[in-house]
Amino acid sequence: MDLKKLASRLIPDKNLLPPEEYEKIYPERDIDKGAEVTRLAPSPTGFIHLGNLYSALADERAAHTSGGIFYLRIEDTDEKRKVEGAVESVIRSLKYFGLKFDEGAEIDSPLNKYGPYYQRQRAEIYRSFVKKLIEEGLAYPCFCTAEELDAVREKQTENKQTTGYYGAYAKCRNLSEEQIYKNLDEKKPFVIRLKSQGSIENKFTFRDAIKGDITVTENDQDVVILKSDGIPTYHFAHAIDDHFMRTTLVIRGEEWLSSLPIHLELHKVLGFKPPRYAHTCSLMKMDGETKRKLSKRKDPELSLDYYRKAGYYPLAVVKYLMTVLNSNFEEWSLKNPDADYRDFKFKIDKMGKSGALFDLEKLCDVSKTEISKLSAEECYGFLNSWVEEFGTDTDKARFKDKEYLVKILNLIMGTGGKKRRKDIERAEQGVRLIEYFFDDLCNHYDKFRFDDKTVTAVLEGFAKVYDPADDNSAWFAKLKAVASNAGFAAEMSEWKAHPENYKGSVSDAAEILRIAITGKANSPDLCTIMGILGKERCLKRLNSENCISLNKAQTE
C-alpha cells in the first residue's frame, strides 16, 4: 500500500510543517541539569479539586526546588466537557493558594516560548505527527461506527474478555487499500488509530518516581489518536506536548497509571524519550472506621472553592498539604515554625506510595495556628478580603470601620508573644465570632445557669457601678462586690471551703455578665470587651429584662 499517498488523503492539510521542524521550534530548554520542568495540565471542566492542588503543589515544589519551570497547559481536546470560565477558575484558585506558574496559558511571561498552551491551538503539530505515523504504517483509519463498537464491547463483556479495539477485534486494522479508498470516497467518517506494536504477553518494569519499580503490561490497544473532528485525543496530545514543552517530570493522579502503557507506547512510536512519571496516591479520608477516597459527591471539602468560601487561610491549606506530600515536613515545620515552607527540601520520592490521609480537623488546627501568627492588621486584611467576596452587606458595612476591627482583633488574638489565642480558624467563622461586637443587643447562644432573679441581681448590680474608666482590677473589684451581693462567693477560697453557703463563685457571676455581654460563656477578657463595646452598648446589653427574654428565646 502506498502509505504516503494514504497519509496525504487522510491528512490533506497543505501547510503542515514536517515533524522534524518542531524539534527546532521547541528546542531543549536552556536550564541546569537536574532542573525539573513540570506542568499542571487540567481539562477545563470547571471542577478544580484538592487533588489538583495536591498535585500542583508537588509540581511547583519539584520545579522550583530544582531551579526548573512550572507551567500551565490546558487540555481542552474534549469540547463536550468544556465549561466557560474554567481556565480562569484554575488560575484564580492556584493564585489564592500562592502557587505561581512560570509560563503557560493566560500567564504573562517572556518564557512563553513553548506555546500555544491550549491544546486546541496546537492541532497542526498533532496532525503533522499523525501523518508521519500513517506514512510509517504505525497508524490507520478506522471507519467503525459507534454501534459497531458497542456490539464489539458487548461481545467482549459476554466472553469475559478485555474490552477495546485490539487484535482480532481491530476490524479496520487490516482493511485493504481498495476498501479504505472506497470508504473515503463514500465519505464515511473515520478516526485515526494507533497500530499498536505491543502485546499483553509482554511485561516490563517501569520506574515510577513515587511508587518505585512497578510491573507493567504492554499496551495492545489500537487507541484513537485523532478523532473524527480532526482533534487528537488526550493520550496523543499529551505525549506530543510533554515532549515539545520539554517536560521532564509528569506528576499526576494514580488514576492515570492504567493509561501509562498507552503513553509509553505513544512516546516510543513517535521516537520520543518519555518524561519521568510520578503517580500520586489518591487523597483518602476516614469515614467512621474505614478509609475511603474523597468523593466529589459526598465530600464538599474536595472542591477547592470550599476552602475559599469557608475562608481557610490559604497558606495553612498549602502547609497542611505539604505534610501530606512529605511526611517529614511536619517535623521540619515544628523545628522551624517561622520559616517559609518553600525552604523545606521537598523530595518527590518521599511522597506516600498509597492512600494519603486527608484530615480536615488537622487542617483546621494548622489554619488556626497560621492565623494566630498574623498581626491584627494582617488578620483584618485577610478577613476583609473574605468579606468583600463572600460576606453579607452587613458584614461589608461593619468591615469599613478598620480601626474598630483592629481593636477587636488585637483582643481576640491576644497581644503578641507566645500566648496568642487561636480562636479564629477560618475567615467565615472569624467574622461570625466577632459579631457580638456589633449588634445593638447581641445574639444569645449560651444559656444562663441561674434563675432570673439571680441573673437580674448580677446584671443590674453591675450596670449601676460600671464605669468604662475603671482599669482591670477596679473592674474586677466591682464585680466581686456585685457577686457577693447576689449571693456568690467573692473569693474562690471561700467558695471552695463552704460551697453550701453560696450560689456559686465569682467566676459563675462573671459568666452571667459574660453571657449578657457576648452571648457566650467563654470569651477573651471581658473588661476589655466592654471597653471596646463602649458604655452605651454595654448598658443596653445589661438590661436584664431584655437580656433574659432574648436568652430564653435563643436557647429554647
Interface residue with ligand GLU, options 37, 42, 132, 270 (CB under 6 A): 42
183 Cβ contact partners less than 8 Å away, ≥ 6 residues apart = 141, 143, 175, 190
CB of 74 to ligand GLU, least distance (A): 9
CB of 418 to ligand GLU, least distance (A): 44
SS3 annotation, 462-522: HHHHCCCCCCHHHHHHHHHHHHHHCCCECCHHHHHHCHHHCCCEHHHHHHHHHHHHHCCCC
**Closer CB to ligand GLU, 236 or 344, in the complex:** 236
Interface residue with ligand GLU, options 43, 112, 456, 484 (CB under 6 A): 43
The Cα-based distances of 207 to 95, 210, 260, 473 in angstroms read 32, 8, 12, 69
Could you say which residues in the range 263-322 bind ligand GLU, by CB under 6 A? none
**Closer CB to ligand GLU, 43 or 112, in the complex:** 43
118 binds ligand GLU (CB under 6 A): no
The Cα-based distances of 68 to 65, 72, 95, 99, 166 in angstroms read 8, 14, 19, 14, 40
C-alpha cell at 114: 513553548
Burial class of 506 by CB neighbour count within 10 A (0 to 12, 13 to 18, 19+): buried
Residue type (1 letter), 245? M
**Closer CB to ligand GLU, 238 or 319, in the complex:** 238
| 278 alpha carbon, distance to own chain's centre | 19
Could you say which residues in the range 217-236 bind ligand GLU, by CB under 6 A? 234
**Closer CB to ligand GLU, 142 or 250, in the complex:** 250
CB of 232 to ligand GLU, least distance (A): 12
In which region does residue 95 sit, left (phi positive, over 0), alpha (psi from -120 to 50) or beta (all else)?
Answer: alpha
**Closer CB to ligand GLU, 235 or 319, in the complex:** 235
CB of 255 to ligand GLU, least distance (A): 8
**Closer CB to ligand GLU, 119 or 528, in the complex:** 119
CB of 164 to ligand GLU, least distance (A): 20
41 binds ligand GLU (CB under 6 A): yes
C-alpha cell at 355: 492512600
47 binds ligand GLU (CB under 6 A): no
Binding region for ligand GLU (CB under 6 A) out of 56-64, 249-257, 310-318, 360-368? 249-257
The DSSP string of 303-323 is BHHHHHHHTB-HHHHHHHHHH
8 binds ligand GLU (CB under 6 A): no
Binding region for ligand GLU (CB under 6 A) out of 16-24, 38-46, 142-150, 518-526? 38-46
In whole angstroms, give the CA distance from residue 434 to residue 197. Answer: 67
CB of 42 to ligand GLU, least distance (A): 5
Provide the β-strand partners of residue 216.
204
Cis amide leading into 116 (omega within 30): yes
**Closer CB to ligand GLU, 274 or 504, in the complex:** 274
Phi, psi (5° rounding) for residue 143?
Answer: -105, 10
C-alpha cell at 341: 515552607
CB of 264 to ligand GLU, least distance (A): 13
CB of 251 to ligand GLU, least distance (A): 8
Binding region for ligand GLU (CB under 6 A) out of 101-109, 248-256, 336-344, 348-356? 248-256
**Closer CB to ligand GLU, 294 or 434, in the complex:** 294
**Closer CB to ligand GLU, 252 or 478, in the complex:** 252
Provide the β-strand partners of residue 140.
193
256 binds ligand GLU (CB under 6 A): yes
In whole angstroms, give the CA distance from residue 293 to residue 49. Answer: 13
Binding region for ligand GLU (CB under 6 A) out of 36-44, 302-310, 404-412, 438-446? 36-44
Interface residue with ligand GLU, options 252, 279, 285, 368 (CB under 6 A): 252
Alpha helices (runs of H) in 118-210, residue ranges in sequence order: 123-135, 146-158, 177-185
**Closer CB to ligand GLU, 61 or 238, in the complex:** 238
243 binds ligand GLU (CB under 6 A): no
CB of 253 to ligand GLU, least distance (A): 7
In whole angstroms, give the CA distance from residue 230 to residue 60. Answer: 33
The size of the interface with ligand GLU (CB under 6 A), counted in residues, is 9
Count of alpha carbons within 13 Å of 330, Cβ hemisphere only?
10
Binding region for ligand GLU (CB under 6 A) out of 6-14, 41-49, 268-276, 328-336? 41-49
Binding mask 57-76 for ligand GLU (x = CB under 6 A): ------------------x-
Binding region for ligand GLU (CB under 6 A) out of 108-116, 250-258, 296-304, 431-439? 250-258
The DSSP string of 64-103 is HTTT-EEEE-B----GGG--TTHHHHHHHHHHHTT---SE
In whole angstroms, give the CA distance from residue 412 to residue 486. Answer: 30
Specify whether the CB–CB gap between 369 and 319 falls below 8 A: no
238 binds ligand GLU (CB under 6 A): yes
**Closer CB to ligand GLU, 42 or 115, in the complex:** 42
3-state SS class at 273: coil
**Closer CB to ligand GLU, 256 or 306, in the complex:** 256
SS3 content of the chain, % helix, strand, coil (to 5): 50, 10, 35
**Closer CB to ligand GLU, 75 or 301, in the complex:** 75
Q: Residue numbers of the site for ligand GLU (CB under 6 A)?
A: 41-43, 75, 234, 238, 250, 252, 256
